[in-house]
Structure formats: structure tokens, C-alpha cells
Amino acid sequence: MTAKSAAAAARATVYGYPRQGAHRELKKAIEGYWKGRVTADALKAVATELRRANWQSLASAGIHEVPTGDFSYYDHVLDTSVMVGAIPERHRAAVDADVLDGYFAMARGTQDVAPLEMTKWFDTNYHYLVPELGPDTEFIANSAKQVGELKEALALGLTARPVLVGPVTYLLLSKPAPGVAADFDPLTLLDRLLPVYASVLADLRAAGAEWVQLDEPALVQDRTPAELNAAARSYRDLGALTDRPKLLVASYFDRLGDALPVLAKAPVEGLALDFTESAAANLDALAAVGGLPGKRLVAGVVNGRNIWINDLQKSLTTLGTLLGLADRVDVAASCSLLHVPLDASAERDIEPQILRWLAFAKQKTAEIVTLAKGLAQGTDTITAELAANRADLASRAASPITRDPAVRARTEAVTDTDGRRSQPYTERAAAQRTHLGLPLLPTTTIGSFPQTGELRTARADLRAGRIDTAGYEERIKAEIQEVISFQEKTGIDVLVHGEPERNDMVQYFAEQLTGYLATQHGWVQSYGTRYVRPPILAGDISRPEPMTVRWTSYANSLTEKPVKGMLTGPVTMLAWSFVRDDQPLGDTARQVALALRDEVNDLEVAGTSVIQVDEPALRETLPLRAADRAGYLAWATEAFRLTTAGVRPDTQIHTHMCYAEFGDIVQAIDDLDADVISLEAARSHMQVARELAAHGYPREAGPGVYDIHSPRVPSTTEAAALLRKGLEAIPAERLWVNPDCGLKTRGWPETRESLENLVAAAHRVRGELPAS
């Protein structure tokens, strides 16, 4: 096909769409089902309606081929485990008894059975459930979900393309099941898995699929020759099938590198590639392999992970270059639109001019359609759209919101000394032991306590004017009193105030910093039914006044025990926001760090002796390619030290991280120079404690003994067993006892019992320690 005919054939598509509904209907229905207020049939009806609404909205907007199979009750990787029959043995009885309840048991666990481990989906803030595999794993095809959703879309008269997690990515994201040797490589199961994919593909073809998309984002990471060979073999074998739809192999989040020629040579009908800034190298690499003659190329030119409008002219230039490299060029976002909110037009509190800089899923869909139209029919058919886009881009570039001379002057004046504590850790640790007087194996929590319905109602009443500020603050005071009283009675050593005043660990601070914008409806799925509203970092950052000192000081006034000041760190403030894309991330991180430094110093002046600066996003923001990591870790660790280095030696700095693979950033954790770090460890059975020990980590650490993302209550015996595992790696004088993460999403009854068991476990294991 000529470049001209390739352009004429251009179509618009997306890889996935937000699942929750305009009013988070899916979240409400699922949580209602868990509480027994919604029946299974009612839940399924809500899900069916949400899928229908999404597909019809996409089609009405001009999307020519809608995705199916991207919808999920909890997680698309868990859906894939169900599709290939990889059900952990401990959950098999529950799945056999009731498919839906068994599905949720794998995700959340039960009182008697632990859930699957959860970790970050590449470098996003979405979490997936890690498949557990072993040498005895037997796969069996179960295409009911995938076929059923395809048939729903086809029945609406739509052109639909099922989307599956590809077999190589599925295995590379898996881990050895409990009891399986740690060095077991799930990729050795490829020959067992491919026939299952072949069966699913045949079922989808029989159901009417012309194309099926197989997502292989794991191939954008550094891969060994054996892993690249597995990819080549997978698509050689799947491509050789006679009873299958056409195959579109998709990658996103970064450049494909050595995997691109492997996929370009594979006997599949199409590739979907990311051509946004982070993956721009894909264009030259595609040209270097001779393009995709005779194949379909889906070009991801609209960024599916940020909320800024696309530069339409720049994207059209990229698309024009691609026309000569494939038989057909279609237009898409760079990845699933799962990672952005649904509709910017729903925001009523953002200034209209600024709103024109923003593109959520609905607006990105319109951009994709516009680009496909311009590519297929010529730019003269989208003259008005191009003119409006140029004006909006210029408006943002010239806005005074984006530049504050005072902030920039302060940032430029930072020196290396500003990022160093006044004494080394060994001297600080001695001063802190004297100052705080804590026992061995001190107990604490990560920060938040349950956000009850009453708290959420009080916050909503304040916004609606049903109560005044004084009434709201009395409610917050009462909650802090309850949280402090409970912790004292339970015997926790380092307390927290529970964060009842905070709506979200990032949004709360963003609303008090200049340069940030808050949304009312910008919900994005983090995991399961947990949705967050990432703020929008649009301009230079400063802190007009203290943000946390008042409530932390009030909590301190209620107890003689130390109360931690709780802040969200600069990297996480960036990672869990939609960040400006008009300057280097390191520059923005330094601005945020200086604003937080002011808060840390004010907390210390107010009498706070323990200050926690959470950085759960440090690992998730790690670049996918090793070659890009040193630069990132340099500015990320500098930003943390800049935040925390201004305090006295006897002020103890904590940090916290959760739900990521920490092994490859242990040196960066060390470089933070925090006095204490708490980390998720319960689901991974203290793996991170072993990793810290192997590195020779010299500071204090609290690997979690209570998995807070499950409703189950760990027994004292269970927590004590995990604590003993921790002691195998970390000596008692440096080991803390804490949950995996904050308790915001848990209820009070399970929180009380779990923390009581945690403290009892600490006392039990303390009693087992040799006398000093």
C-alpha cells in the first residue's frame, strides 16, 4: 500500500478506557456487594451497563474499533490468571464454589486465606495482582469473560477488538508460588501457556473477532536474549495458527529497543507502538528495521498517561513520517486510557481557560479522532481544530501560573550542603535513642487511621455549607482524641494523629501549595475499588503557610508519647499528580522539596521529634530502562534529602514505601539517609528485609507484619512469625514493628483487633530476645 492509501485507511482506536463510570458506579456496586447490600446479579447489571455506555460513547465520538476485555471488576492481570486457569491452590475451593466470590478472595483474601501479592503496574500508580506459578502449574483455557464481552459489543453493532495481556508479559510479571524455589523462572512454562492462548484466540475468532490485541509492555524493559527469544517463539507459534483472528501486538510506556526487530519479524498482522516523547526512539528504530511492510501499525501519538492537551500539529508530523513505514497507519493513545480521569468537562471549579489545557479520557478520544481524520482526509478538514489547539498551547506557555520568579531564585540558590544532615547516622541514632527512649522492636503505624463514613460526611457537609468550619474542626479534634486514646491503650510506642482532616495523601498538600490545581471528578483507579484524584501540577510550587503543624501539635498535646508528623515526599507528590511537562521533572521535584522543607522545619520547631516523609512512589517512578535510572535516582534522592536535611540530629526522620519491588533500588533507599524506613513486606513474606540485609543497609527498618489491603485480621502468632523472619535479616536494635501501609481504607473493628495483635506480637518476640 502506498503512503497515500495508508493515510486514507487511517482509523481511530483506543486500547482501554476508564472502568469506574462517571460517578464511580462500579466502585459503589462492588463495595455494596462485599457488604451484602448488592446482589451478584445487580453488580453484573451495573458492569454490563458501564461497558455498554463506554463503547457507545467511544463509537459516538468517532472511534472506529472499540476495545473489549479491558473492563475488570478488580484487575486485568487477575482476569488473565482466570483466563488461563492459574488459580492458586489455596483459592481453588472458593473459586469452584462461587466464581465471583472466589475472584474477590484472590484479590482481597479472606480471614483464613491470604490474597495474591499486589505490586505496581510498570511505572504507573496502578496496582496489579501478581500471578503465582510453579513447576506443577497446569494451565486451562477459560475464555468466558473475553468471549462474553466481545459478544456484548458486537450485539451493539460495533467493530470490536478484544485486548489480552500477552503471554510473555504475563509470565514475566509472575512470581514463584509459595513453597516454590525462589529461583524458579515462570518463563519456563511458556510451552504450556501458548496452547491455552491458542484456544482463547480460536474462541474469540469463533465469536466474531477480526482482530485481537495482545499487550506486551514487559518488552519495553531491558530483556535478556532468552526473554527476547521467548517473545520470538511465542509470536512465531501464535502467528502460525490457522484458527485465529488477526493479531495486533501492543507495547507502551517506553521504547521497545531490542524487542522491536523481534516483533517486526514475527508473523503477526500488526504492531501497536508508543510514539510519545518517552518512546520517540521507536520511530527511528522502526525505520531502521525497514518498517512494517504489509502490516498494520497503530501509532500511539496521544499521551495516555498525562492530562495535557496534545500538540496536534506535532503528532500529525509524526504520523506523516510513519505513513511510509506500514501498510496501514491507525491512530491511538500511547496506552490504555485507564490511567487518566474520565471527562475534563465535568470540572466546574477550574478556570475555563486553564480547563482548555486539559485532556482527560473523553478529550483524548476526541484528539485521536481528530488526528485520524486529518491523516485520512487531509489537514484542511481539521483547520478549526488545529487553530484552537495552537491557541490553547500558546495560552499555557504564556501563562503567569507557570512561572514564579521567587520560587526559581530560591531553587537556583540550593547548594549540596542543603541536602546533608549535620551529623552522620551513627551519631544521630545515639542522640535519637536518648531523646525518644524507645524499647527494642518499637511499634508504630504508617499514618492514617480509618476514614469513617462520619468523617467523609463531615467533610461533605463542610463543602456544602451544612456545617461551619468550627463545627468541622470539633469533629476532627474528637477523631484525633479517639485515635490517640486507642493507641495509648493498645501500647503503641510512636503514635500518629490518624490524618482525619486529609482527603488524600497527595491532594491534601496540593490544595495548600501554589502551582497545583485540584479536580472534583478526576478519579483514577489505583487498585480494585481504590480510586484517587491526582491533583494537577501546573506551575511553580511554594508553601504559603504551614499545612500540618496545627493538627500534629494538637495530637502532641494529648499524650506524653512521641507523635509523628506526617508528610508526603516530593517524588510521590510528583508521581501521584499529573505533572507539568514543560520542564525537567528534577526541577519540579526541587521546588516541591523546598516547600516541604519549610513544613518539616516548622514541625520540629513546634516540638515534633519524629517526622515521616512518605515516598511510596520512589520505586514506581523508576525508569523502565536501566540506562535511564541513574539520572532519575540522583534527583529523586536529592529531593528527599533536601526536604529532610534541615532538622537537628535528635529529630528522627522516617520514610515509608509500599507495594513495589524494592530490590533494585536498595542503594537509593540507602542514599535517602532516612533514620527509619517502613516497607510493605507481609504479602512478600519479608522479602524486602532480606534485600536490605544483603545490601548491608545500616539504618533502622520496619518491614510490615500486617497486610492492610486485605480485610483479614492477622493473628498474634502470624504477626510474631513474620517478625521473627524480620529478625533473621535485621538486628533487634534496628527493627521496627508496623503495618504495611496506612489504615485509611480499613474499618475500625478490624483495625483495632489487628493492631492489638501487632503489639502483642512485638511483646511476645521482645520476650524471646536474649537479655542485653
Q: What are phi and psi of 341, to 5 degrees?
A: -65, 175
Residues 6+ apart with CB under 8 A from 388: none
Where do the H-state alpha helices sit in 62-98?
A: 76-83, 89-97
Catalytic residue from among 127, 497, 656, 709: 709
- Between the alpha carbon of residue 720 and those of residues 71, 124, 706, 765, 772, the distances in Å are 39, 33, 10, 6, 21
- Relative orientation angle of helices 312-322 and 281-288, to the nearest 10 degrees: 10
DSSP label at 612?
E
Q: Which one, of 752, 772, 771, 761, lies nearest residue 441 by Cα?
A: 761
**8 A C-beta contact, residue 256 and residue 210:** no
Strand partners, 527: 530
Q: Tell me the C-alpha distance between 513 and 157, whole Å.
A: 49
Q: Tell me the C-alpha distance between 523 and 130, whole Å.
A: 24
User: DSSP states of 424-457 as a string?
Assistant: -HHHHHHHHHHHH-PPSS-BB--SB----HHHHH
Strand partners, 66: 160
Q: Tell me the C-alpha distance between 300 and 331, whole Å.
A: 6
**8 A C-beta contact, residue 33 and residue 39:** yes
Cell numbers placing 296? 498494520
DSSP label at 771?
P
Three-state DSSP class for residue 384: helix
Q: Is 91 a catalytic residue?
A: no
Residues 6+ apart with CB under 8 A from 177: 88, 89, 132, 133, 134, 137
**8 A C-beta contact, residue 651 and residue 609:** yes
**8 A C-beta contact, residue 524 and residue 24:** no
- Between the alpha carbon of residue 492 and those of residues 487, 563, 744, 752, the distances in Å are 5, 11, 18, 12
User: DSSP states of 513-539 as a string?
Assistant: SEEEE--SS--EEEETTEEE---EEEE
Q: Which one, of 674, 553, 646, 654, lies nearest residue 608 by Cα?
A: 553
Residues with catalytic roles:
709
